[in-house]
Structure 1
Amino acid sequence: MEASQPTLAPFAHVMFCKRNPADCQADGRGDVSVQATPQALQTIRAINGEVNRAIRAVNDPPGPLGDVWTLAPKKGDCDDYAVTKRHRLIAAGIPVAALRLVVARTRSGEGHAVVLVRTNDGDLVLDNRTSKIRPWGETDLTLMKLQSGEDPRRWVAPDQALALRR
């Protein structure tokens, strides 16, 4: 998927970066893709499943002060799953520049956060609502904004020519 219009980062992500600066550093590789080898895909699947099982799903309290993005909590919401998966994927050797946090809307209109892994075979979505890893085009999500591949502190919004990589 391509998005190029600069937009504001979610406030909760800004606060997450203040608390976890190492998780918001660029790796200097620019915009890259992961080779979708069996080993890389197995690593991605394993981390997705482990994090989905490790965190008990609960919603944040309502209001802007309730939305806190936290690494590896015992219970949390979609953004906690997403930042934890991203953190674990980076620790497993997946390049920072191939990972994106995504803020989207579900088919029912609910705000949702996921991790997108850019591969040479297309963009894959790691979602806490399912153990299946799907190409972006096979999800029920509508993109609102996502992290830049070049700088994890920068976020971009879809432009008129949104291109999905399948």
Structure 2
Amino acid sequence: MLAKTVLAALLISSALGVGSAFAGPAAGLARPLRSAPPSQFITATKFTLAPFAFVRFCKDNSGSCDAGRGDAEVTLTPALRAELLRINSTVNRTIIAQNDDDGDDVWAQDVTAGDCEDFALTKRHQLIKAGWPTRSLRIAVAKTRAGEGHAVLVVRTSEGDLVLDNRSSAVRAWNQTDLKWIKIQSGDNPRLWYDI
């Protein structure tokens, strides 16, 4: 009797064009309306100023700031996922976390000690050396839950924008982090930055 009642309710709601809020054996047939899931990719809105320390980094390391090459999105195979995890974990272990001594923010890559942007730039550099396309690798600036400025590497993949953060060896989707996003590089031209 219950099955006939459920089926009748589903048929009536379907004919009227309304979703069923009925939870039961047939609940999978009519799904309740939900809000759209958050995007897998960061949405850049408008041009903004690059961090001043990054501008200085490009002046001293122009090759690292050349126009992007290759695909804007990497098809993430199991081998590439393993490489991404390995490089993230290795850089996190080998660089000693240390803030800039005199308060003057200096961005650098391939260092033995440094702060968040140095980790991000080193990961980007290591991935480029491993053959990853530069267009898929972008530095982003955000704030942590504690309100501190923070920089990370964002990798655009077939599974969405993934974040390589020096605070964790896990690689997470951008919308599954505790970060409040501020700005991100252009994949086509790393010297250009966008608001998020």
TM-score by length of 1: 0.89
Higher strand share: 1
Residue in structure 1 matching 2:162, options 124, 149, 152: 124
Give matches, 1:29-40, under 5 Å: 29=70, 32-40=72-80
AA of the residue aligned to 1:94: W
Give matches, 1:127-146, under 5 Å: 127-146=165-184
C-alpha distance in 2 between matches for 1:109 and 1:139: 14
4+ runs of 1 displaced by more than 4 Å?
Answer: none
Structure of higher RCO (CA pairs closer than 8 Å, 6+ residues apart): 1
Report what 1:45 is aligned to: 85
Residue in structure 1 matching 2:68, options 20, 27, 38: 27
Give matches, 1:141-160, under 5 Å: 141-158=179-196
1:2 is displaced (CA, Å) by: 1.4
C-alpha distance in 2 between matches for 1:121 and 1:73: 30
C-alpha distance in 1 between matches for 2:156 and 2:164: 11
1:28 is displaced (CA, Å) by: 4.2
Residue in structure 2 matching 1:89, options 123, 127, 150: 127
Contact residue 69 and residue 133 of structure 2 kept, 8 A = no
Q: What fraction of aligned residue pairs are identical, expressed as a percent?
A: 52
**Aligned pair count?**
155
1:62 is displaced (CA, Å) by: 5.4
Partner secondary structure for residue 59 of structure 2 = helix
Report what 1:14 is aligned to: 55
1:6 is displaced (CA, Å) by: 0.2
* Unpaired runs of at least 5, structure 2: 1-41
Select the structure of larger CA radius of gyration.
2
Describe the superposition over 1:27-69 as per-residue Cα deviations: whole angstroms up to 9, x where unpaired: 344x711101011111111111111111000112354xx1001
Residue in structure 2 matching 1:3, options 44, 63, 80: 44
Q: Pick closer, same or farther for the CA change 1:28–1:57 going to 2, 3 Å.
A: closer
C-alpha distance in 1 between matches for 2:45 and 2:158: 20
Q: Pick closer, same or farther for the CA change 1:132–1:28 going to 2, 3 Å.
A: closer
TM-score by length of 2: 0.76
AA of the residue aligned to 2:52: F
C-alpha distance in 2 between matches for 1:14 and 1:157: 16
